[in-house]
């Protein structure tokens, strides 16, 4: 496949934080490279060794070093004279706004640090946050880091059951929740769900409650429940921060659950912050006058690294937006970009496809001239969506950084440097400086250009997760056992490399299709479908087939008006995919649906769709954003099967 590249615009390259020499410098001595980046942080005690295996595969980075993450993310900037710099332009879903400077952030973090101590929270204790995207949510993560408590953020839209699993799994001593939250323009109570989640869990000593929606009948357990504003009232804004070992746990983040029961990945202090901080500065080319906006919910790993720890460690000014991107209208994000003169917008493919459904008029109605850099994460971005983002949001002038990484990797692994790397729509490009990743077959041999294999990381990196909380065996067996002989990390994603060594993510290994011995990537087929003018979204799965092993079934959401005639669409799409990818990739069956099952972070859950076509049921659905979507697909599939010649 020959793909036209987009070299960095010369003006951008000339001012970029990082130049081309960094790749070679880092490759010559990756440990020295990461040590240099660690030097960007404030250490209370320098490290003795850059890297050491504690006990493989658990790595130790910056052993002997001590630091405080909150001091690095907040105090350091105030001490440097930037106390008046805006840390956050926060905007609530209903339109309420708050501007928070680094000095104000420091005051609140210190007050809450005292409050947490008063509630009996100390270093190593777990604190679960079940909050919307609020200033208080950011304050809570920093206050926990300040006193060495381990934080775990749970998406505010999760059910009581999903929350309970995470509270119990972490053995949390404190839950921080809100009275209510805004969901697509409506205030709903959430304290009752928080109560349900912690009922009978004796390790939870307190529930700290942030007032957000002003609910009137907040259920209350005296002695256990505490109001945030009452706890903070009268606390001192002076707080002496202790320093913690570089390997002290910082947070536990649960994977989005695309492939099964979520795993609680444990990230630590010095290595993680080094990786988060440097990649944020380099990949997003952060400048002091940037207004940076990563639109991920704070509970996702994306926001841990590229809203909380990365940007704050770099003293960034960012937009933090509470609500749904489509409330009260689908152009809300563009309105926000225009209002705050956002320069860097980091988004997700699912949202780009949603914008595309509305057409280029949506961004065109806003002044987006402040933008200078765009980013994408969460899934492979379909080339069609990349081009749309580049042209209709970025006005053709902004580099697009497609960043491949995972909860497990802590920060970006495969991504372009915007002033250096020529980008290709749909590829996350090449491993970042200091990172080693490649594509191999099951035996560990690099696959030739264009051939699908397994994406592996072949050398240790500072942001890597250290374990799965409470289940180290699962950490070893999921990621390290398959290539134990080589000591490589198995990412769980399929990929291929092109002639230039660019990495193209093909989807989850479990989602790779095997058609008469041909390995095909689900993403490549979906991108081919999405490039058809009538298709808005697609999920491609392999259904069991007696003859070919698997047959390709494509579920598509069309851009047609509701109730439009689908006759002929299947034939049109088959021909389109054959022309784009090849005859072997033609979907045998095309099923038109109005919705697809997605995780809360917007990833299509192909596993559940594949289960339907195979007649299996009962997969883990706790991460679904809308369980009804599965019913929609089920009904469409049943109708499709019944309508097939011979039925059933």
Phi, psi dihedrals of residue 342, rounded to the nearest 5°: -65, 135
- Mask for 605-644, x = binds ligand ATP (CB under 6 A): ----------------------------------------
Partner interacting with residue 428 (select from Mg ion, ligand ATP, none; CB below 5-8 Å by kind): ligand ATP
- Of 292 and 404, which CB lies nearer to Mg ion in the complex structure? 404
Nearer to ligand ATP (CB atom), residue 133 or residue 143: 133
Q: Are 277 and 312 in contact (CB under 8 A)?
A: no
* CB closer to ligand ATP out of 137 and 258: 258
Backbone angles phi, psi at 387, to 5 degrees: -65, -40
CA atoms within 13 A on the CB side of 389: 30
256 is a site residue for ligand ATP (CB under 6 A) = yes
d(C-alpha 124, C-alpha 67), whole Å? 15
Straight-line distance from the first to the last Cα atom of the chain, in angstroms, rounded to the nearest whole number: 39
Among 8, 57, 257, 433, binds ligand ATP (CB under 6 A): 257
Q: Is 259 in the site for ligand ATP (CB under 6 A)?
A: yes
Interactions with Mg ion, residue window 252-311 (CB under 5 A)? 255
User: From the CB of 492, what's the least distance to Mg ion, in Å?
Assistant: 5
Q: Does 60 bind ligand ATP (CB under 6 A)?
A: no
402, interface contact from Mg ion, ligand ATP, none, CB < 5-8 Å by kind? ligand ATP
Binding partner of 70, given Mg ion, ligand ATP, none, CB within 5-8 angstroms per partner class: none
Segment interacting with ligand ATP, rule: CB under 6 A, options 156-164, 200-208, 257-265, 327-335: 257-265
- Nearest distance, CB of residue 241 and ligand ATP, angstroms: 30
In degrees, to the nearest 5, what angle opens at C-alpha 154 toward C-alphas 103 and 509?
120
Distance CA 400, CA 12 (A): 12
Instruction: Pick between residue 108 and residue 379 the one whose CB is nearest to Mg ion.
Output: 379
Binding flag, residue 296, ligand ATP (CB under 6 A): no
Distance CA 316, CA 77 (A): 10
Segment 156-195, which members bind ligand ATP (CB under 6 A)? none
Report the alpha-carbon distance of residue 574 to residue 582 in Å, rounded.
Answer: 10
Query: In the complex, what is the shortest distance from the CB of residue 599 to ligand ATP, in angstroms, rounded to a whole number?
Result: 6
Residue 75, binding choice from Mg ion, ligand ATP, none, Cβ under 5 to 8 Å by partner class: none
C-alpha distances (whole Å) from 252 to each of 259, 387, 425 are 18, 35, 33
Among 37, 258, 314, 344, which residue sits at the site for ligand ATP (rule: CB under 6 A)? 258
Q: How many CB atoms lie within 10 A of CB 93?
A: 21
57 — phi, psi (to 5°)? -90, 15
The HSE-up count of residue 344 (CA atoms within 13 Å, CB side) is 26
> How many Å apart are CA 169 and CA 489, to the nearest integer?
25
For ligand ATP, the closer of residues 38 and 308 by Cβ is 308
Q: What are phi and psi of 259, to 5 degrees?
A: -105, 0
The CB-of-424 to Mg ion minimum distance in angstroms stands at 24
Backbone angles phi, psi at 216, to 5 degrees: -90, -45
- Considering only residues 473 to 492 of the shown chain, the ones binding ligand ATP according to CB under 6 A are 491-492
Residues that bind ligand ATP (CB under 6 A): 255-259, 262, 301, 377-380, 402-404, 406-407, 428, 491-493, 505, 508, 603
């Amino acid at each position: 496949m020959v793909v036209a590249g987009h070299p960095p615009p010369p003006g951008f390259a000339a001012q970029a934080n990082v130049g081309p020499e960094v790749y070679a410098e880092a490759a010559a001595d990756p440990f020295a490279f990461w040590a240099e980046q660690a030097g960007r942080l404030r250490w209370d005690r320098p490290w003795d060794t850059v890297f050491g295996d504690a006990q493989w595969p658990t790595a130790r980075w910056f052993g002997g070093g001590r630091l405080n993450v909150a001091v690095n993310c907040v105090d350091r900037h105030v001490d440097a004279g930037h106390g008046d710099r805006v840390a956050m332009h926060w905007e609530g879903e209903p339109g309420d706004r708050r501007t928070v400077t680094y000095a104000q952030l420091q005051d609140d973090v210190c007050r809450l640090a005292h409050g947490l101590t008063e509630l009996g929270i100390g270093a190593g204790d777990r604190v679960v946050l079940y909050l919307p995207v609020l200033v208080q949510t950011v304050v809570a993560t920093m206050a926990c880091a300040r006193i060495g408590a381990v934080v775990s953020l749970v998406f505010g839209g999760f059910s009581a059951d999903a929350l309970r699993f995470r509270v119990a799994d972490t053995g949390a001593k404190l839950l921080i929740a809100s009275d209510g939250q805004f969901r697509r323009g409506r205030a709903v109570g959430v304290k009752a769900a928080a109560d349900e989640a912690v009922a009978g869990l004796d390790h939870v000593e307190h529930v700290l409650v942030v007032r957000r929606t002003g609910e009137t009948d907040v259920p209350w357990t005296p002695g256990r429940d505490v109001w945030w504003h009452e706890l903070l009232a009268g606390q001192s804004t002076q707080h002496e921060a202790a320093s913690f070992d570089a390997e002290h746990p910082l947070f536990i983040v649960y994977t989005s659950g695309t492939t099964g029961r979520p795993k609680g990945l444990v990230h630590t202090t010095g290595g993680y912050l080094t990786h988060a901080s440097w990649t944020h500065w380099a990949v997003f080319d952060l400048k002091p006058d940037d207004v940076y906006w990563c639109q991920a919910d704070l509970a996702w790993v994306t926001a841990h690294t590229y809203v909380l720890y990365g940007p704050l460690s770099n003293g960034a000014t960012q937009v933090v937006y509470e609500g749904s991107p489509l409330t009260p209208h689908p152009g809300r994000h563009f309105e926000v970009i225009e209002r705050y003169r956002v320069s860097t917008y980091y988004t997700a493919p699912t949202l780009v496809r949603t914008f595309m459904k509305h057409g280029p008029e949506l961004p065109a109605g806003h002044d987006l001239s402040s933008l200078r850099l765009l980013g994408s994460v969460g899934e492979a971005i379909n080339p069609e969506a990349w081009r749309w983002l580049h042209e209709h949001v970025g006005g053709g002038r902004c580099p697009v950084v497609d960043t491949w990484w995972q909860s497990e990797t802590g920060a970006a692994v495969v991504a372009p440097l915007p002033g250096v790397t020529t980008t290709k729509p749909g590829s996350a490009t090449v491993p970042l400086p200091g990172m080693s990743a490649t594509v191999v077959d099951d035996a560990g041999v690099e696959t030739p250009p264009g051939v699908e294999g397994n994406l592996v990381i072949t050398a240790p990196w500072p942001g890597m997760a250290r374990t799965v909380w409470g289940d180290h065996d699962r950490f070893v067996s999921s990621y390290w056992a398959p290539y134990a002989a080589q000591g490589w990390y198995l990412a769980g994603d399929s990929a291929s490399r092109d002639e230039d060594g660019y990495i193209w993510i093909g989807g989850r290994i479990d989602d790779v299709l095997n058609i008469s011995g041909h390995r095909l990537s689900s993403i490549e087929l979906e991108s081919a479908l999405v490039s058809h003018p009538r298709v808005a979204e697609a999920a491609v799965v392999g259904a069991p087939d007696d003859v070919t092993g698997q047959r390709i079934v494509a579920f598509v959401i069309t851009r047609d008006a509701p109730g439009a005639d689908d006759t002929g669409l299947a034939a049109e799409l088959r021909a389109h995919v054959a022309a784009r990818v090849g005859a072997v990739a033609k979907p045998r069956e095309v099923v038109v649906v109005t919705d697809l099952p997605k995780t809360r972070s917007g990833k299509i859950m192909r596993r559940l769709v594949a289960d339907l076509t195979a007649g299996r049921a009962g997969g883990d659905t706790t991460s679904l954003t809308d369980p009804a979507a599965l019913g929609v697909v089920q009904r469409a599939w049943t109708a499709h099967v019944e309508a097939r010649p011979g039925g059933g």
